[in-house]
Amino acid sequence: MKKKKRKKNNALPKKARLNRRLFFVGTSMCALLGLLGLEVARLTLFKHEEYAAGALANMTQTEITIDAPRGSILDRNERQLAISLLTYDVILSPYQIVKNVKAEKRPELYAKLEAATGTPASEIQATVEKKIAANPKNQWYELAKKIELSDEQVEELNQLGGVTVRKTYKRSYPNGELAAHVLGFYNKNEEGQYGIEEGYDDYLVGQAGRAYSQVQESKIVTREYQEPKSGSTIKLTIDQVVQGYVENTMNKYIKQFGPSKASCIIMQPNTGEVLAMYSYPSFDPNNYNDLENQLGSNVWLNMKQEAQTEALYSAWKNQSIQFNYEPGSTFKPLMVAMALEEGVISENATYNCPGYKQVADRVIHCWDRDGQGHQTLFEALANSCNIAMIEIADKLDNEIFLKYLSDYGFGEKTGIELAGEEKGYLFKNQFGPVEKATASMGQTFLVTPIQLITAFSSVINGGYLMEPYIVSEITSSDGATLLNHGSLTRRQVLSTSVSNMIRDNLKKVVDEGTGTSASIPGYKIGGKTGTGQKFEEGTNKRVEELYAVSFMGFAPVDDPQVVALIVFDDLPEGTGAPASAFKDMMLEIFPYLGIETSDDVEIHGEETVSVPDITNKNIYEAANLLKEKGLNYSTLGNGIKVSDQYPPAGSKWGKSGTVTIYTSTDKPEDLVEVPELLGKTVEEAKDLVGETLVLEGAESGVIQSQIPGAGSKIEKNNKIIIQTSE
C-alpha cells in the first residue's frame, strides 16, 4: 500500500518572495526619484538659463515697426503743401489661415479681402496655397501696401483669422505740381529727394513706434507698445495763392511761346522772403517718375528708357537756382548803381549813342543799330543803351568793377535752403577791355535767377544784400519751436541815396522805355527787361536766333513790397513775353497782397457787391453763389472742395469782377484734368469725357459754359455742369 504524498505548505515562501519583490520595486522607485530630484536640482541650479531660453524659443516672438507720419510742409498761411495721409498695409499669415480657418470658410475670407484691397479673391487664394506649399509654417504675405480703408473695413479685417492690418502713411501733395521744385518729393525708397523734402529730411522724418508681442499656440502671451512720433512741421515763406497765380500765368505763356526752360521768382525785397518760385519743365510730386501728363501719352510712352530718364532729370531740375545764363540788360541798373556809388558819374551825365562803339579790336553794337542819339543817364537806362553802359564801365577800375560783382553776390551761392544751387560763372583769368565792355551790358558772365533777383533787390531796398530764404519756421510734433528764421543782411552794397535814385528812375523803363508791356494802370511799377545771348553747347559760338529773355519788375516804386523775375529760355527777341507775363500775374497778385493803386480809386469805378462766403463748399455751389452776385471766378488748386477764397467773404468787390476759388483734395491720385468743352456738342463732349467724369445739365446743343473750367483737375467720377445754346 502506497503512502500519500503530503502537500508542501507554500504559503510562507510565496509571501516572502512577494515581500522581497515589493522591497526591490520600492527601493528602485526611491532610487529613481532620488536621481530625478538630483537632475532637477542640477538643471535648476546649473542649466536654468539654457533651458529657459529653449522654452522661449518655442514661442513666437514678433516686433512690428509702426510707421510715424512724416512732418507736413505748409505755406506761410499754413495751407498744406505736403502731408502724410493715413493708409494701411494688409498682411496675411498663410499658416494661420490654413490652420485656424475652416476650408469652407476661406472663400468668404478671400472675398472680404478682395473687397478691401481690390486683389481678386482667386489670386489671393492661389498665392496663399503657393506660400503654404513652399513653407507650411509661412507667417508673412504682404497682400497690399499703403491703401486707404474705412474704419469699418479695418475692424472687419482685424476680425478675420490670419489677417493683420497695420497703420502706415502715404506722402501726398494736395496741389499736384504746385511748387513742385520747392517741395521736391518723397521717393519709393522712402527718402526725401530734391527741394525741402531732401534738404530738411532730418526734421521731417518721424520716430517709428514699436509693437512687441509673444505668441504661444496662437495666443498672445505678452504685448508692449511704443507710440510713433510724428516728424516736424515746416512752414515756408511761399504763399500758395501767389504761387498759384504765378504757375497759371507761366503755364499760359509757355503753352503760347514754347520755351525750353522757364523760371519765375517773387520775393519781398526788404526781407529776402521768397513768396513764389516756379520752374519749367515741371513734374507732379505725387507721380514723380511719370511725365505722361506733362508730355502727353504719345510722347512719354514712346520714349526709350534713356530718354525718359533724361526727361525726368530735366523736369526735376530747379531752374530758379540751377539755370546759369547771361542776365543781359537786367544787369544794367546794377551797373549804373555801382558807378554812381563810386562817384565816377553823376545823375546829370549825358551820352551819345551812334549805334556802335570800338573797344580794343572789336566793334560792339547797341541793340538799336541806328543809334539812340543824345540821352541823359536815366534815359539811357530806360532805353537800355549798350553804348552808354560801355562808357560808364570804362570809368571804373577793373578791380572795383569785379569787387562789385562779388559784393552783389555773383559767383557764389546765395544760401537759399534748397539743395543743388549753382553759383554762376565769373571771369577766371582774363578781364580786359572787351570783357569789361560786354559785362557792362550783362554779357560774358553767368548768373542764376535767384542770384540776380537777390542782387537787384539790393538796388531797390536801400542798398542791402539780403540772404534769400524759403523756410520760416520749424515746429516739432510736441509744439516746440526748432527754427524761427528771420531776415539776414549779408552786407550793404550801395548807399541808400543811390538805391533810391535808381529805384525811382526805373519807373521810366515801364512808363516810357523797353518795359511798357508790364505797365498796369493805377500802379507805380519799376522794372528792367533783359535779353541774354545764347551759345552753342561746348563752344563760344553765339546762337543768333534764340535768347534767354527776362523781365525784372517791382512795386510800388516809392516803397517796394514785391519784386519779380521772369525768365524764358530759347525764345526769339521781341516777343515781350516776360513783361506781359509780369503784368498778367500782378493784376491778381497786387490786390491779393494789399498793394493799393496810387490814386486809391475804387475798383475800376464799378458798382461793388459783397463777396459771398464759399469756403468749405464744393466748386459747383461756389460757382452758383458767385453767379448770383454777378461775379466771375477762377480756380487755383485741385479737387472740388473749396478750401479758401479771395477776396474773403464780406469784401466789397467790383461787380463782374473775378473771385479766386482755392480748391483742395484728399485723393490726388484720383485727379483727372477737365477737358475744354466750349464750342462742342453734347455728344462730342461725352466722347471726350469718357467714363472718368459725368456730364450734367443740357442734353443737346453746343456747349456755352462749363463748371469747372477747362484745365482744372478734379477727382474721378465727379461732374462737369454744362449749359448749351439750346
Of the candidates 471, 414, 416, which has an alpha carbon nearest to the alpha carbon of residue 203?
A: 471
pLDDT tens profile 255-270 = 999 999 999 999 999 9
- Whether residue 646 sits in one domain with residue 586: no
Cα atoms in the 13 Å half-sphere on the side-chain side of 122:
0
Answer whether 173's CB lies under 8 Å from 186's CB.
Answer: no
- Whether residue 620 sits in one domain with residue 482: no
- Rounded to 5°, angle at Cα 611 from 606 and 613: 175
Is cis: bond before 174, omega within 30 of 0? no
* Dihedral sign from CA coordinates of 310, 314, 315, 317: positive
Boundary-marking domain end, from 215, 236, 257: 236
Cell of 678: 466750349
Residue 37 counted as domain residue: no
pLDDT tens profile 531-577 = 988 766 655 666 667 899 999 999 999 999 999 999 999 999 888 99
Residue 385 sits in a domain of what CATH number? 3.40.710.10
Task: Determine the straight-line distance between the first and last CA of the chain, rounded to whole angstroms.
Answer: 150
pLDDT tens profile 286-305 = 999 999 999 999 999 999 99
573-601: burial string, b at 16+ Cβ within 10 Å, e else: eebbbbbbbbbbbbebbbbbbebebeeee
- Whether residue 665 sits in one domain with residue 695: yes
Cα–Cα distance, 251 to 262 (Å, whole number): 10
- Whether residue 634 sits in one domain with residue 575: no
Cell of 134: 513652399
Cell of 538: 561746348
Residue 579 counted as domain residue: yes
Answer whether 660's CB lies under 8 Å from 634's CB.
Answer: yes
Residue 212 sits in a domain of what CATH number? 3.90.1310.10
**Three-state secondary-structure class, residue 221:** strand
- Whether residue 614 sits in one domain with residue 587: no
- Whether residue 523 sits in one domain with residue 377: yes
Question: What is the structure's pLDDT at 632?
Answer: 82
Residue 701 sits in a domain of what CATH number? 3.30.10.20
pLDDT, average across residues 583-592: 92
Cell of 169: 502713411
- Whether residue 589 sits in one domain with residue 494: yes
pLDDT tens profile 207-243 = 888 776 655 554 444 456 678 899 999 999 999 999 9
pLDDT tens profile 671-697 = 888 888 888 888 888 888 888 888 888
List alpha helices for 206-260, DSSP H.
240-257
Question: What is the structure's pLDDT at 556?
Answer: 95
pLDDT tens profile 485-519 = 989 999 999 999 999 999 999 998 998 888 889 99
Cell of 237: 515763406
Is cis: bond before 281, omega within 30 of 0? yes
- Whether residue 694 sits in one domain with residue 589: no
* Domain residue limits at 653: 605-724
pLDDT higher than threshold 70 for residue 4: no
Q: How confident is the model at residue 28 (pLDDT cuts 50, 70, 90)?
A: low
Boundary-marking domain end, from 205, 236, 267: 236
Residue 400, phi then psi, degrees to nearest 5: -65, -45
Cell of 138: 509661412
Residue 38, phi then psi, degrees to nearest 5: -60, -40
Residue 388 counted as domain residue: yes
Residue 271 counted as domain residue: no
Question: What is the structure's pLDDT at 34?
Answer: 62
- Rounded to 5°, angle at Cα 712 from 709 and 716: 110
pLDDT higher than threshold 50 for residue 59: no
Residue 90, phi then psi, degrees to nearest 5: -110, 120
pLDDT higher than threshold 90 for residue 58: no
- Whether residue 447 sits in one domain with residue 585: yes
Residue 50 counted as domain residue: no
Residue 275 counted as domain residue: no
Residue 288, phi then psi, degrees to nearest 5: -65, -20
Question: What is the structure's pLDDT at 603?
Answer: 45
Count of Cβ atoms closer than 10 Å to residue 251 Cβ: 16
Burial of 473 (0-12, 13-18, 19+ CB in 10 A): middle
DSSP state of 325: B
- Whether residue 627 sits in one domain with residue 584: no
Answer whether 441's CB lies under 8 Å from 458's CB.
Answer: no
Q: What's the Cα-to-Cα distance from 649 to each of 190, 322, 628, 718, rounded to whole Å? A: 41, 41, 15, 26
- Whether residue 643 sits in one domain with residue 508: no
Cα–Cα distance, 577 to 515 (Å, whole number): 11
Residue 161 counted as domain residue: yes
Residue 495 counted as domain residue: yes
pLDDT, average across residues 619-638: 85
**Three-state secondary-structure class, residue 404:** helix
Q: How confident is the model at residue 24 (pLDDT cuts 50, 70, 90)?
A: low
pLDDT, average across residues 706-726: 85
Q: What's the Cα-to-Cα distance from 511 to each of 331, 526, 652, rounded to whole Å? A: 19, 8, 30
Please give the distance of CA 277 from its chain centroid, rounded to a whole number: 11
Per the prediction, the chain carries an average pLDDT of: 86
Q: What domain count does the chain have?
A: 3
Cα–Cα distance, 452 to 563 (Å, whole number): 11
* Dihedral sign from CA coordinates of 238, 244, 246, 251: positive
- Whether residue 228 sits in one domain with residue 125: yes
Of the candidates 200, 235, 205, 236, which has an alpha carbon nearest to the alpha carbon of residue 71?
A: 205
By DSSP bridging, strand 641-646 and strand 362-365 are unpaired
Boundary-marking domain end, from 236, 269, 297: 236
Of 50-64, 152-166, 466-480, 630-644, the range with the lowest mean pLDDT is 50-64
**Three-state secondary-structure class, residue 574:** coil
